[in-house]
Structure 1
Amino acid sequence: MNGNDRAGEFGPIYLPALQRIRDCWLDLEPLVDTTSYDDVVAPTELQISLSDGLGDAESARLDIQWSELGMYSFHYVDSDDVNWRFDRHPNIHSPEIHFHSPPDATTTAAEPSCIDVTEVSLVTRAVHAMWRTTYENGDLDRLNSVANPP
């Protein structure tokens, strides 16, 4: 997880949100292979492994953080080393809610996010809907182009 572009307070991780996100992905996505936390005692990140990825990628993973302040990061990486992120956090390079585009999700490539909801389940459904649409049509340019997802 790349938190280097954060400015200001992200806040402590909110475990009930990570549990809700995990449950949503398990309910919505048949390609979920496994879910885990980075630390059993004091988790700071939910990891969702997928049995397939975008394009030619054979597998993928989402690394997810959600804070008590409602800040979040959904970071996708796959076996072809394609990265992208939907983030909400204070920063100096873009609006608070923003998207880092593929293939490398660089900080300088951040743009406003098409996600304008802030509730945990709705943000999760929006990220999933855009991932699933991109998975089915193969067009990475559509990841941040849906009007008011979910």
Structure 2
Amino acid sequence: MAELRTIRDVFRRGEPLLADEAFDSVLSPRELRLSFDDGIGNADRARIDVVWYTSGAYSSHYTDSADVNWRFDRHPNPHSPEMHFHAPPDAESHTAERSCITVTEPRLVARAVLKLWRRAYETDSVAEINTAENPP
């Protein structure tokens, strides 16, 4: 899927801690796993799993070795805005709140997720992970 390759390329060009990237399938990729040599705070490694659907729905799920999770999603559902964020530390469904990411183009969504991850990494805190204006 071209969208996942675009997202992979954004992370390749923009993140020096990217250690590895892998698609779940060579022939028909549905998920991209981005692995990092370090994580936020006490985590010594981290991963962002990205799923992008042909409808434009997506999920970017962060998880790390300190058991911290958070997730930016776009999909319709009855209990949260279409573009929403699941807060750390567990990214539980009931924690969904409006996402600060308002763009929908894959390259821009990837840049926004990368920018927010990088800010959290540099500050050693996920406290403001979903607080930004026009993050790309």
Q: Flag whether TM exceeds 0.5 (same fold).
A: yes
State which of 72, 78, 83 in structure 1 corresponds to 2:58: 72
Using the alignment, how far apart are the partners of 1:132 and 1:122 within structure 2?
A: 15
1:54-88 residue CA offsets vs partner (Å, 9 max, x unmatched):
00100001110111111110000001111000000
**Structure 2 unaligned residues grouped into runs of 5+:** none
Using the alignment, how far apart are the partners of 2:79 and 2:43 within structure 1?
A: 30
Using the alignment, how far apart are the partners of 1:119 and 1:42 within structure 2?
A: 20
Quote the residue 1:99 is aligned against: 85
Secondary structure, counterpart of 2:127 in structure 1 = helix
TM score, norm. by length of structure 1: 0.88
1:147 and 2:133 aligned: yes
Quote the residue 2:114 is aligned against: 128
CA-based RMSD: 0.8
Using the TM superposition, give the Cα deviation of residue 148 of structure 1 relative to its aligned residue in structure 2, in angstroms: 1.5
Using the TM superposition, give the Cα deviation of residue 93 of structure 1 relative to its aligned residue in structure 2, in angstroms: 1.6
Using the alignment, how far apart are the partners of 1:79 and 1:145 within structure 2?
A: 24
Using the alignment, how far apart are the partners of 1:93 and 1:53 within structure 2?
A: 30
Using the TM superposition, give the Cα deviation of residue 135 of structure 1 relative to its aligned residue in structure 2, in angstroms: 0.3
Using the TM superposition, give the Cα deviation of residue 29 of structure 1 relative to its aligned residue in structure 2, in angstroms: 0.1
1:29 and 2:15 aligned: yes
Q: Percent identity?
A: 52
**Structure 1 unaligned residues grouped into runs of 5+:** 1-14
Secondary structure, counterpart of 1:48 in structure 2 = strand
Count matched residues. 136
